[in-house]
Amino acid sequence: MKLPLRDGLALLSRYLRPQLRWVAALVVLVLATIGLRLANPQILRQFIDTAMAGGERAALIRDALLFFGIAVIAQLLSVAATYVGETVAWSATNALRLDLLRHALALDATFHKDHTPGQLIERIDGDVATLSNFFSRFTIDILGNAILVAGIIGLLFREDWRIGLPVLAFAVLTVWLLGRIRTVAVPHWTAYRKLVAEFFGFLGERLGGTEDLRANGAVGYTMRRFFAFCRRLFPAYRRSSIAGYSMWMANVALFTGGFAIAFGVGATLWRASIITLGTVYLVFHYTELLQGPISQMREQITDLQRAEAGIHRIRSLLAASSALRDEGASPLPGGSLSVAFRHVTFAYQPSHPKNSPADAEPEPIVALRDIDLAVPAGATLGLLGRTGSGKTTLARLVARLYDCQQGVVEVGRVPVADVALADLRRRVRMVSQDVQIFRASVRENVRLFDPAVSDDRILAALGELGLRDWVLELPHGLDTVVGTPEAGLSAGQAQLLALARAFLADPGVVILDEASSRLDPATETLLENAVDRLLAGRTAIVIAHRLSTVRRADQIAILEEGRVIESGQREALAGDRGSRLAHLLTTGMEEVLV
């Protein structure tokens, strides 16, 4: 029987090593339980033979009490083993979840573009959940049950080789047949787990877009897609379950034959006066006892069928590497940082379409073409252009969410590829239109769950931005849990918190994808003042949507189809009646840049 233990044992050795004491305790408990299970039938055999021979009542009472005492102790040890096993399982799987999450967060934006949040949730949590039993008891149970089976057969051979031999043949045949049947189920479980991941990806996207689906009448379409997934899920689960249940049915049939062998051998030898009636019961009891470990081995192998796909998918996720090489060691200078794009060209690589030939690579989508711009330290660059012109892509390259295919992006006169990612992203902060607000307190949303940031620093940052009074007026101040009915935030208020996050980091470069239509009038003035204070003394790249932002910029760059079609000082371009900026200011940016 070929089991995928190479990858599985690699995971076991990695995540069980910190719990060696618990694992050792589990081994002791399992071995002690095995010893008691082997001893009790011997006591029962002695009780039967003593009773048949008319033995003393005291001896019978002693054997009975010993039998019940060992049975109780065995049950208590079994409970203790279950407790220790679950402790080991939860500790190991939680550590694995943490490593998978940390690894996924370290992957580049291209990976996350190709994998939906729902798919990653299923891979980080769903696949790991299938490994719970594998981590806690798989190896120990397999070894323990093998020891139990060997002990039973050894004791039966000690009674008589004519008893041990047929039982040994029966055990070997049973294990071999169950192993052969297992191979039928593995492909079905793998296909089912893959389909479940796709389903959760679909579900996560649709639940996240509930408002848009309702507002635009797409509920019916979504429900049809949902039912289509359900129609695919049920047959896949049915096939995998039936394949797994085939082992259970084979187990029942095989042990029916095993009991017949035990009765036949026992009756034959008893009639020949070779063994006692107690030994006949011993043979039957040990044969029946074989059903437990072999059935558990069957269940463990069934769990392995489910875990095998999870192990493969977990290994593939851990094997995924970021396209961004984080090997930089060049430090960034303090203060505001200059930004430069030197003949930068960038193209997005689309996902490989399903059901397409493996060698049919999709054409890359060129987003930026030969961009050559420089922003001095402390200056503000306003990026203008229609939707899809490449503004957001250009900003992402500064934070190194992607690497350009040609050219160099510099921050503080240092190529971004030569700077450690952690250092770069401490000094370069992005505030986008889609602000992620977590269901947590204002404090945690501003400091992003960093306990090293004190309330005094948070309030000082809010005070600098002019937001302190606004936050303190919330129902519970910094302790207000946002996202609840009593503290629902508008889009503008969410951006206020995002500005506070960026200000708290004291970055050298601020990238601001400014909102326009999403601003609510009640917070517009507050937001404008906060932006002015955030950008003061810092280098800024602002994707501009409104005239007020253009007036804030020192330089302007207008993009069209991934190219810079106009750039220069704002005042000079605004004063040139033939410039595109002058045309935008005259016509109205909102009317042109749509």
Q: What is the DSSP letter of 49?
A: H
Q: Same structural domain for residues 13 and 133?
A: yes
Lowest mean pLDDT segment, chosen from 41-50, 98-107, 372-381, 515-524? 515-524
pLDDT in tens, 429-442: 988 877 788 888 88
For the chain, the C-alpha Rg in angstroms (whole number) is 35
Task: Please give the tally of structural domains in the chain.
Answer: 2
Q: What is the pLDDT of residue 523?
A: 67
Euclidean distance between CA atoms 115 and 95, whole angstroms: 22
Q: Same structural domain for residues 313 and 378?
A: no
pLDDT in tens, 122-149: 788 877 877 776 666 666 677 778 888 8
**Percent with pLDDT over 70 in the chain:** 86
Q: What is the pLDDT of residue 377?
A: 93
Higher-confidence residue: 522 or 215? 215
Structure-token match 């063994």, residue found: 275
Higher-confidence residue: 67 or 547? 67
In a domain, 588, yes or no: yes
Asked whether the beta carbons of 316 and 107 are under 8 A apart, the reply is no
Euclidean distance between CA atoms 269 and 280, whole angstroms: 8
Euclidean distance between CA atoms 187 and 177, whole angstroms: 18
Q: Same structural domain for residues 241 and 296?
A: yes
Q: Same structural domain for residues 383 and 294?
A: no
In this prediction, residues 61-73 reach a mean pLDDT of: 89
Higher-confidence residue: 138 or 363? 363
* pLDDT band at residue 222 using 50, 70 and 90 as cut-offs: confident
Euclidean distance between CA atoms 384 and 333, whole angstroms: 29
In a domain, 526, yes or no: no
Q: What is the pLDDT of residue 517?
A: 47
Handedness of CA 242, 244, 248, 251 (dihedral sign): positive
Residue 540 has pLDDT above 80, yes or no: yes
In this prediction, residues 291-306 reach a mean pLDDT of: 70
* pLDDT band at residue 487 using 50, 70 and 90 as cut-offs: low
Residue 558 has pLDDT above 80, yes or no: yes
Q: Same structural domain for residues 431 and 572?
A: yes
pLDDT in tens, 196-220: 878 887 887 787 778 778 877 888 8
Higher-confidence residue: 544 or 96? 96
Q: CATH number, domain at 172?
A: 1.20.1560.10
In a domain, 330, yes or no: no
Q: Same structural domain for residues 95 and 174?
A: yes
In a domain, 461, yes or no: no
Q: Same structural domain for residues 82 and 17?
A: yes
In a domain, 463, yes or no: no
In this prediction, residues 251-261 reach a mean pLDDT of: 75
Range of the domain at 580: 339-349+364-435+539-592
Q: Same structural domain for residues 36 and 119?
A: yes
In a domain, 512, yes or no: no
